[in-house]
Structure 1
Amino acid sequence: MPALIDAALAQPGLWPMVLAAVLAGIVRGFSGFGTAMVFLPVAGQYLPPVAALSVLLAMDLLGPLPNVPAAWRSAERRDLGRLALGLLLGLPLGLGLLVVIAPEVFRYAVSITALVLLALLAAGVRYRGTMTPALVTGAGLVGGVFGGAAGIGGPPVILLYMASTKPVAVIRANLLLFLVIVDIASLVLLGIWGRLQPGPVVLGLALTLPYLLANMAGAAMFRPERARLYRGVAQAIIAASAILGLPLLD
């Protein structure tokens, strides 16, 4: 274990990843989503895809926990169960794709997916129909594929919820809890498949404290009545990170 800790502290790009973890924590605590879209474009510059995802999952497993009880009280739990069902159906396929993806393709997938999501939201895309069980489960399924293949399980679900007319507090709660489920399921599947490497996990755990504190700070900033600020700040930080994560800017 000491050798793994020393290796984590000597990891190239450690301090940029610490800064990315702090920014990701603030965004996650404030908006309920965004960790992967902020952190992975940075981590992907220094780590191969599976290692970058392992760092994220280890870091993200504990960071949001202080915000879970309040989110559970605000969530629409029936829809959360449908999202989880869809996730479990799509995640194995996505993880199967991840192990054969080249690092550059991984980074482009993360950044471009984040930018497409933001463009749709900025364009004012809204869904005013009924969020049927099939629609919610389908969003979770596509999220599972995205989460496994590119490390970002949120965008399909985020787009559905952010485009809906649901209250901001419900959107934030369901997204936060769904992404906790994504982390747990992804860690379990990577472990079962023997793809969970101890080095990246230790690095992720080393980033947990700054990420945890940033989550708490972000949650303290959240005000349900400030819906426009809620959307704008999270989208701006995610956009900046996604653009900086593009390989062509190396």
Structure 2
Amino acid sequence: MYREPVLFVLAGAVVAIGALVQGAAGFGLALVAAPLLALVDPVLVPVPLLMVVTVHALLALYREHSDTDWHGVGWALLGRLPGIAIGVLTVATLPPRGFAVVVALSVLVCSLLSVLRWRPRPTIPALVAAGLFSGAAGTATSIGGPPVALLYQDAAGPRVRATLAGYFTAGALLSLAGLAVAGQITGPAVTAGLYLLPFMIAGFVASSPLRRFLDRGRTRPVVVGLAAASALVLLVRALSV
């Protein structure tokens, strides 16, 4: 990859755009970057992308740490742990296409209900359930942000971004730990992740003006729209396999 400057710049641009989106809305980096990075060079997923996601989440957490709902992060992570196990079991025993379709349709239905009348709240049962669904979906399909994000759709922009950043930091570190145990973290993968970090940082810095724009009452439609877009991307990807 590194001998092909055009592909390297393309991969970096994709990461920068994803970092811009997530820096403003709270999630979306994996949605934007994962499908395209896999096409550019398979070595870029999952380890390099998880490295980028982890550092982005840490930066976002530092930027707005006082707005983090740590109570919500804790309960969502409690659900995420068994969710990861369910995701691993699903990948091992069920057709991945069918599970991806179920996840996509579930997120689409929740997004549609949010547009119509449903206003979910981050209660303890809802957080645990969202974490469970997020862990399973994220492990099996790489798209795990929407279930938790939808619970905070009515919160202020800083609250959404900081809380998701706390959740993503812990979740990505857990995923990296699992990959390390499985022997999937290799030298080339780490090197690729380090090459992508400057692009991610550029996108994160550029997100500041956009997040201020969204904080003027535009956070909720963007969160719901991104959740629906995540589901559509996953659905198209599953049906095209």
> TM-score, normalising length from structure 1?
0.76
Equivalent residue in structure 1 for 2:74, among 48, 70, 81: 81
Distance 1:236 1:77, change over 3 A: closer
Instruction: For 2:19, give the aligned amino acid.
Output: G
Alpha-carbon shift at residue 9 of structure 1 (Å): 4.8
- Any residues of structure 2 matched to 1:1-250 within 5 Å, and which? 8-10=2-4, 13-48=7-42, 52-95=45-88, 97-98=90-91, 105=97, 109=100, 117=107, 120-121=110-111, 124-125=115-116, 127-128=118-119, 130-162=121-153, 165-223=154-212, 225-228=215-218, 231-232=221-222, 235=225, 239=229, 242=233, 246=237
In 1: Cα distance, 2:119 partner to 2:97 partner: 34
Higher helix proportion (structure 1 or 2): 2
Structure 1 range deviating more: 13-22 or 23-32: 13-22
Q: Any conservation in 2 of the 1:85–1:137 contact (CA below 8 Å)?
A: yes
Q: How much has 1:138 moved relative to structure 2?
A: 1.4
SS of residue in 2 equivalent to 1:152: coil
Q: What per-residue deviation string (whole Å, max 9, x for no partner) do you get for residues 43-63 of structure 1?
A: 232455x86221210222223
Contact 2:111/2:227 (8 A) holds in 1: no
Percentage of matched positions with identical amino acids: 25
**3-state SS of paired residue (2:202):** helix
Displacement of 1:234 after TM fit? 8.8
1:39 CA drift (Å): 0.6
Q: String of CA shifts for 1:13-34, please: whole Å, max 9, x gaps.
A: 4333222101101001101101
User: How far off its partner does 1:137 sit?
Assistant: 1.1
Q: CA–CA distance in 1 between the matches of 2:118 and 2:189?
A: 39
Runs of 5+ consecutive residues of structure 1 not aligned to the other structure:
1-6
Provide the rounded CA distance (Å) in 1 between the counterparts of 2:75 and 2:28. 21
User: SS state of the match for residue 127, structure 2?
Assistant: helix
Give 1:74 deviation, angstroms. 0.5
DSSP-derived class of the 2:152 partner: helix
Q: Tell me the amino acid that sits aligned with residue 176 of structure 1.
A: A
Partners of 1:139 and 1:157 within 8 A in 2 = yes
Question: Residue 152 of structure 1 aligns to which amino acid in structure 2?
Answer: I
In 2, are the aligned partners of 1:71 and 1:174 still within 8 Å (CA)?
Answer: no
Given that 1:63 and 1:209 are in contact with CA atoms closer than 8 Å, whether structure 2 keeps it comes out as no
Provide the secondary structure at the position in 1 that maps to 2:155. Answer: coil
Cα gap change, 1:197 to 1:95, in 2 (>3 Å): farther
Structure 2 residues not aligned, in runs of 5+: none
In structure 2, what is the Cα distance between the partners aligned to 1:98 and 1:197? 22
Instruction: For 2:80 and 2:39, locate their aligned partners in 1 and report how far apart those are by CA, in whole Å.
Output: 27
Partner secondary structure for residue 184 of structure 2? coil
Number of aligned residue pairs = 238
Secondary structure in 1 matching 2:144: coil
CA deviation after TM superposition for structure 1 residue 91, in Å: 1.7
